Amino acid sequence: MAIRVIVSGAGGKMGREVVRAVRGAADMELVAAVDPSYAGRDAGELAGLGFTGVPVSGSLAEALARDGAHGACLVDFTAPDAVYANVMQALEAGLRVVFGTTGLSDQELGQIDRAARERGLGVIHAPNFAIGAVLMMRFAAEAARFFDEVEIIELHHDQKKDAPSGTAVKTAEMIREARGRRSRRLDAETEVLPGARGGELDGVRIHSVRLPGLVAHQEVILGLPGQTLTIRHDSLDRASFMPGVLLAIRKVGEVTGLVYGLERLLFEA
């Protein structure tokens, strides 16, 4: 039986890519799409697939009125100011959820986890769905055990609203867990220009770059006296995220509560 999928944010760049990926998956069926900016349009035509007969709804409530939508999996790639309400509404309606939008607070993520557990539903949230990015984070965390210092440079397109990226934050968290300690910092360090040294999470400096022409890129630079190690991942096209999105859709029915990070699916199976 095909996995029924609703795509929220279907008119955005990631949403259109998800529509193409779901339509191309033999074990999935696109049953509804949501995007108030493109309400009434055909989801397939927006994604460059031609007419599919799946109209874009202006709200999730409208999408749930479509045949086959109830009990489906919601895939949400909307804005940080919309995703929390979307996920909570989906759980209330009995939907499993996969989402990638970052910028939610720990409190909001905790509320999502509680709401999902109360209903026996699964939610998978990954700051990055690219398999290579997940490996980059894992390799960086392993290497950080042996290096005195580490800094993160993340680069994204100029339409990304949150900084630093969720991938950078997740990387710093994994480094902290792997080390069991903070990075060292020189007390004598002085910023002549405030912000020049970037933000800091548990002693790990994070630098954010936003420029047109970029998609999603991150490098982790680790240092010891006389040597450095750089681990870098580049997503050159949004298609790089789709294998991870499809994996999450297939796995979300097997979990209860919030699962944070694609590595939980790749390495803890």
Torsion of CA 51, 60, 21, 157, to 10 degrees: 110
| pLDDT for 186 | 54
The region, left, alpha or beta by phi > 0 then psi within -120 to 50, assigned to residue 208 is beta
Q: Just list the catalytic residues.
A: 156, 160
Mean pLDDT value across residues 139-168: 93
Portion of the chain with pLDDT greater than 90, in percent:
81
**For position 107, what pLDDT does the model report?**
94
The residue-averaged pLDDT of 161-189 equals 82
Rounded mean pLDDT of the chain? 92
What the chain holds in terms of domains, given with CATH numbers, is: 3-125+238-267 (3.40.50.720), 131-235 (3.30.360.10)
List pLDDT tens digits, range 206-215: 999 999 999 9
**What pLDDT was estimated at residue 30?**
96
Return the pLDDT at 193.
Answer: 92
Angstrom distance (rounded) from CA 128 to CA 218: 11
What is the per-residue pLDDT for 183?
61
pLDDT confidence of residue 67: 78
Strands 216-224 and 227-235, by their bridges, are antiparallel
Q: What is the pLDDT of residues 38-54, one digit of tens each?
A: 999 999 999 999 999 99
Q: Can you tell me the mean pLDDT for 69-88?
A: 92
What pLDDT sits at residue 139?
97
Nearby residues of 230 by Cβ (< 8 Å), 6 or more positions away = 219, 220, 221, 222
Q: Would you state the pLDDT for residue 151?
A: 97
Task: Categorize the per-residue pLDDT at 187 as very low, low, confident or very high, splitting at 50, 70 and 90.
Answer: low
What pLDDT was estimated at residue 25? 97
Question: How far is 7 from 23, CA to CA, in rounded Å?
Answer: 11
Confidence category of residue 88, pLDDT binned at 50, 70, 90: very high
253: confidence class by pLDDT, cuts 50, 70, 90: very high
- The pLDDT-based confidence of 188 (bands split at 50, 70, 90) is low
- What strands, in cross-sheet order, belong to the sheet with 96-99? 56-57, 28-34, 3-8, 73-76, 96-99, 122-125, 257-260
Is the per-residue pLDDT at 181 higher than 70? no
| pLDDT at 103 (0 to 100) | 82
Q: What confidence tens digit (pLDDT) does each residue in 97-130 have?
A: 999 988 889 999 999 999 999 999 999 999 899 9
